[in-house]
Structures are given as C-alpha cells and as structure tokens.
Amino acid sequence: MTIAATGNEPGGMSRTGQMEARLRKRRAAERRFRLYGQIAIGVSLAFLVILFTSIISKGYTAFMQSVIRLEVFLDPAVIDPSGTNKHEDIWSANYTKLANKALYSALGVDTGNRRERRKAGQLLSRNADVQLRDMVVADPKLIGTTQTVWVLAHGNVDALIKGAISRATPEKRRQLDDRQVAWVDKLIGSGALVKEFNTGLSFTALRASRKRRAWGWPSSAHSS
Amino acid sequence: MTASILLLILIAAGVPAFIIGIAKASRLARPDPRDLHSRPGYYGGYLAIWTVLPALVMLAVWSLAAPVVIDRLAMSNLPDAVRAMPEGEVKLIAGTVRSIAAGLPRLNDAERAKMRSSAQAAKSVLASAGVILAAEPQPYVIDAAIRVAELRADSRWIASAFTALLILTGFLYGFRRIRLEFRARNAVEGVIMAGLMAASTVAILTTAGIVLSVLFETLQFFHSVSPFDFLFGTVWDPRFSAPGRTGGAEGQFGLLPLLWGTVFISSIALLVAVPLGLFSAIYMSEYAHPKLRAVFKPALEVLAGIPTIVYGFFALVTVGPFLRDMGASIGLSISATSALGAGLVMGIMIIPFVSSLSDDIISAVPQSLREGSYGLGATQAETIRQVVLPAALPGIVGAVLLAGSRAVGETMIVVLAAGIAANLTINPLESVTTITVKIVSQLTGDLEFNTPQTLVAFALGLTLFLITLGLNVYALHIVRKYREQYE
C-alpha cells in the first residue's frame, strides 16, 4: 500500500520510503542487539567449557597407574634368615632384591652384567618393596612360596605409556634409554604390564611411605 | 559438677518452668481466657526466661573469671624466689602447675602419697595418670598444683550452689509476677530483641577487632618507614632483613607500583566481565525463552562456584603459555605472566557476579515502563537501551562496583598468574604484580616479626581494606541515592 506523498519532498524519497528505511535500520539494530546478547552468553559458556576441558584433559591420566606382573619367590633366606619369624626381621628385609630377581627372570636379563641389572631395576617403582613387605607382614605363611604380584611400575614407565615421555626424543635426553623402552614393550606384549585404576587416590592410601606412589606423576617431575 | 552438666540442668529446668507458667496463666484466666493480656505461651516463656537466664549469665561470668582467680591465688603461694624469675619461666611453671592439677583428680590416695615422697616418684606417678612432664617437678610446684585442684573443686561446688539458688529465686520471682494484666508478650519479645542485638554486636565487634589489630601493626610499621614514602613511593624493593639486624631501612616500600598493578589488572578484568555479564543478563532477562534461561543462569553461576585456585592453575598452565605462544607467532612479546592473562581469567571469574546481580535488577524494573515504550512503537532493543537500562542503571553500577571490589581483593589468581616484580607500566602484555601478591610473599617464609619487611604486609592489608571499603560504601550510596521509587 502506498500513501501518496503530499507535495514535493526535497530528498526525493517519499515519506513512506523514509519511514521504511528507518524501520529497516531499527529492525537491524534490534537483531544486532539480540546477537550481542547471544554472543555474550556463548563466550561465557565457552570459557566455562574451555576451563573444564583444559583441566580434565591434563589430569585424567592420574586416574590410571601402570603395574607390572611379577612371579616373586619369597625367599626365606632373604626375608627371615634366622628362621625365628621375628617382626623386625620381616619388616626390614630387602624386598627390592626379590622383586628385581623376579623382573630379571621375566625380562631375560643377564644377571651377571651389573649395568643391565641396574637398568632393569629402574623399571620398578621405588615403593615396590613396600608392597611386597606389606603382603608378607600381613601373612607370614607366604614366606617360601612363589606369588604372582602386580607391582607398581616406575614413574618413568608410567609416563612413557601415558605419552608424557615421547619415544621420539633422542635417547640421550630421554629418561628411559632404548633398552629399557624395548623391555617395556616386551612386558606390554606379554600382558605383564597394564594400566589399572589408581586406588592410591583414595584416602586410605595416603600414608607417608606411599606418598610418592599415590599420585600418578612421573617421578622425574617431582621436585622432592 | 562440670559446666556442661550444669548447662543441661538449666535447660531441663526451663522446660517445666515453661509448662508451669502456661498452667498458671490459664488457671488465672478462667472462666474467660480473653482476660489474659497475652497468649498463655508468653507467660510460660517469661517464667522460663526468669528461671534460666540469670543462672546462665552467672555461669558464663563464672567460667570466664574462675580460672583467672584460681591461677592468681595459686601463684601467690609460690616462694618469692620463684616469682622473681624471668616472665617466660614463670609462665612455664604456671603451665606445669595447671597440667599437674588437671591430672591430680585421677590419682588415688596411695598414688598421692607416693607422689609427695620424691620428685622422681612424682614424675612417674603423674606419667601413669596421663600427665607427661619434661623434668622432675619441684615440691613447690606439686604443692601449688594440689592447691589449684582444691580450689577448682571448691569453685565447682560454689558455682553449682549459686546456680541452684538463682534458678529457685528466678522461678519464684517470675511466678509471682504472672498476673492477668501483666504484659508478658512485651517482656518476652524485648528479651528476644536484646538477644538478637547482642548477636549482631558480636559480628560488628569482630570486624572492629580485625581492623584494629591490622591498624596497630601498621602504625608500628610506620615507625620504621614514613607514611609518605610508603604511600607515594614508586619503588618496591623490600630486600631481606638479616637476623640480628634490626634496621630494615635499606628496603624501599613504595606502594604505587602495587596499587597500579591492582588497578590495572582489575580494570582489565572489569573490561572483560562487564560487557559479557551485562549483555548476558539482558539477553537472559528479556529475550531468552524461560527454559533456556533456566539452563543458562545456573551454568553461568557455576563459574562463580569454581575455587579461585583452580582459576589460578588454569591461568598458569593454559592461558599464560597460550598468550605467549600466540604473541610469539604474531611477533609481539607477551610475558607468560602478563597483566592481560591474569586480568582475563579474573574477568571470567567475575562474570557471574555482574550477570546475576544485573539480571535481578533488570527484572525488577516494572513492566509498565516497558509496555508504555512498546505502545509508543519502540523495538525491544530500543526499549532496553532507552527505558530499562537507565531505570536499572544505579543498581547495575552498584553491581559493577561490587564486582570491582571482588577483583581488587582477589589473591589466588594473581599469585599464580601474575608476576612478582613490581612494575609501573601501561602495557598489558608485560607482567605486573598486585598488592595481594605482595602480602602473600612478604608473609611467607621465615621472617622475624618485627621487621618492616613483615609489617609492611599489614600496611598493605590496611590499604586494601580501605579501598574495598570505599568501593562498597560508594556502591551502596549510589544505589540508594539514585534508586527509582516507582509507586
């Protein structure tokens, strides 16, 4: 519908035309305003999402930890040499030796070569002996038997599996050298190295002797 | 009887008093209950108050005063040579006396006799009763402890006797006062109001206490450093105070770089939070479908609930390196602890403050204004821009100022995300530090308490307190002065 203009308008556009031009601008302004509001909410929620994904993506690996299956012979000569079953002896025995022995046989390590043994020992967590000790203390009848134990892997092994230590890094600058990486792959292949849920995150595990194993961080990242 | 048992007895005495009060009032009012001035429950409450309250007050005063008095009496009986010792040792002996006195009631007569025989026997006997002593106790210490134990037992008896006496007299007095025309309701409500006022006075006194303690330490700080140097100095370099050296005057304590850092980072935060928060609020209150609003509003408020240390961690680990790398790819050198990064994350934290408060204020503008504007042919955007926002403006300004005061006082984000070097710069890509970061760094670590290095934390805290107080008062003032009265 067009309403005829009264007289000659100087601008050349009819009153209706001017009105419609203004209406268009106002409606466009309205749409833009609405858009600003939507953008504002979108950006705020995007920040929220970025925050959560950033934190969760960096932290979720802590929920799993790597463990190695070992057939440990609980040698009475090492644990209880005097045969008296005294608590102090059982408590302070050298369980690391037993764990390492089991690891050497699982990997096929040349036990005569000291360097090889040391390198292999570096694949186990430093608290592996605590695990064995607690097992024996809880049930001293196990002394002399061979048990299948899932022992915590060293933090560096855990980091390698989770990707924090990259295999692409040159050997000199990597925490695990090529031989150790090969051993890790062998263990994974035989199913002796898996990731399990990190029960150490629960409150019951927070004791001083286990503090380091309660958090799945590579121990090289520790400052302590 | 211990204080807790007495308290239970008091409460147990209040209940029958309540019931008896109601009974008497109802009995007085037969045959027509409307003759009573207040409802019977108030008479019961009145009687219960008179029964319980005096005894309660006495118990409170007693439990505060009795230990002090007992200590004084026991210490005055010590030999003069002991009392002449330096203050620290006298306090140590007083503590030993107290702990022995606590263990004495657990000993039977045989053990007590053994205890008096020799100092060594005393130590072992007391250890078996649970009192571990570092050295063998002297005879005068044991005597003093016995006296303290006796006094404590006496005081308990006296307190119990007084309590019983006050309960009885209070009850009788209140009972007599219950009459038909007695205004029980006014009395009871007066007591309740006094109680509420006492509770709010506690809150005010606590605030006053905090401010005064900070003020006291600040004045001590101003003994070593002049207020003029502090308030207008432009160099912040406290240095370390070596042990044994009492003059820390080599350090420079200029507030201005820190103040500038605080203001700078807070302005960046507000620059992020106010547009986002305000437009979110406008959209949610005016345009959004109610179902959408019911989802978005809580989602935004999740941002307010996240602990600030998580924000700080996020800024440190994600935002800082991201900005630095992005700047490197463009060719700008952005510091990993830039003011921009810290301000950005702080702004994200403040968005819910601005958005929730503004949302409530915009919703509170009467619908009649909007309808009038629509009736004149305005679009929704024009209505908001020209009618609703001006009407809501004082409230929004107040909300922004409150968010600003939150930003100024924020500690955890800036401790992790902002730098620690005081820097007077206008470039947001450089790192600056704030007052709150410096308070943390001056108070952590092994520091002697009397040095200016530690006391400056109090001066900074006082400054911060005054700034946020000023902002809050100003916000309140604006809201109240320019508030629209619609009716």
Helix (H) or strand (E) holding B259: helix B256-282
- Compute the average pLDDT of residues B90-117: 76
- Compute the average pLDDT of residues A116-133: 83
Residue type at position A41 = I
ipTM over 0.90 threshold: no
Mean pLDDT of chain A: 78
**How do residues B131-160 score in pLDDT, each as one tens digit?**
777 777 777 777 778 888 888 888 888 888
Dihedral sign for Cα atoms in the order B83, B84, B85, B91: positive
Which residue has 């979110």 as its token pair?
Answer: B280
pLDDT band per the 50, 70, 90 thresholds, residue A100: confident
- For residue A36, the chain B residue with the least C-alpha distance is B279
CB contact under 8 A, A34 and B284: no
Write out the DSSP string of B434-449.
-HHHHHHHHHSSS--T
Interchain contact B65–A (C-beta under 8 A): no
Q: How far is B427 from chain A (nearest CA, A)?
A: 24
pLDDT of residue B201: 96
- Compute the average pLDDT of residues A62-77: 83
**How do residues B307-340 score in pLDDT, each as one tens digit?**
999 999 999 999 999 999 999 999 888 888 899 9
pLDDT of B404 > 90? The answer is: yes
Query: Would you call A202 exposed, middle or buried from its count of C-beta atoms within 10 A (0-12, 13-18, 19+)?
Result: exposed
Residue B243 half-sphere exposure, CB side, CA atoms within 13 Å? 3
Nearest to B299 among A26, A33, A45 (CB): A45
pLDDT of residue A210: 44
Tell which of B271, B274, B276, B416 to mutate to test the A interface (max A CBs under 10 Å).
B276
**How do residues B433-459 score in pLDDT, each as one tens digit?**
999 999 998 888 777 777 888 889 999
Token pair listed for B185: 């309701």
A46-60, B214-228, B263-277, B427-441: range with highest mean pLDDT:
B263-277
| B452/B433 Cα distance (integer angstroms) | 20
- Compute the average pLDDT of residues B118-127: 74
Residue type at position B392 = A
pLDDT of A103 > 50? The answer is: yes
Token pair listed for B176: 């007599």
Q: Is residue B272 a contact partner of residue B344, using CB atoms and an 8 Å limit?
A: yes
Interchain contact A26–B (C-beta under 8 A): yes
Nearest to A33 among B311, B317, B381 (CB): B381
Interchain contact A54–B (C-beta under 8 A): yes
pLDDT of B388 > 80? The answer is: yes
H helices present in chain A, as ranges: 15-59, 76-79, 87-91, 95-107, 114-121, 128-138, 155-162, 178-190, 211-214
pLDDT of B87 > 80? The answer is: no
CB contact under 8 A, B380 and A37: no
Helix (H, G, I), strand (E, B) or coil at B390: helix
pLDDT of B38 > 50? The answer is: yes
Mean pLDDT of chain B: 87
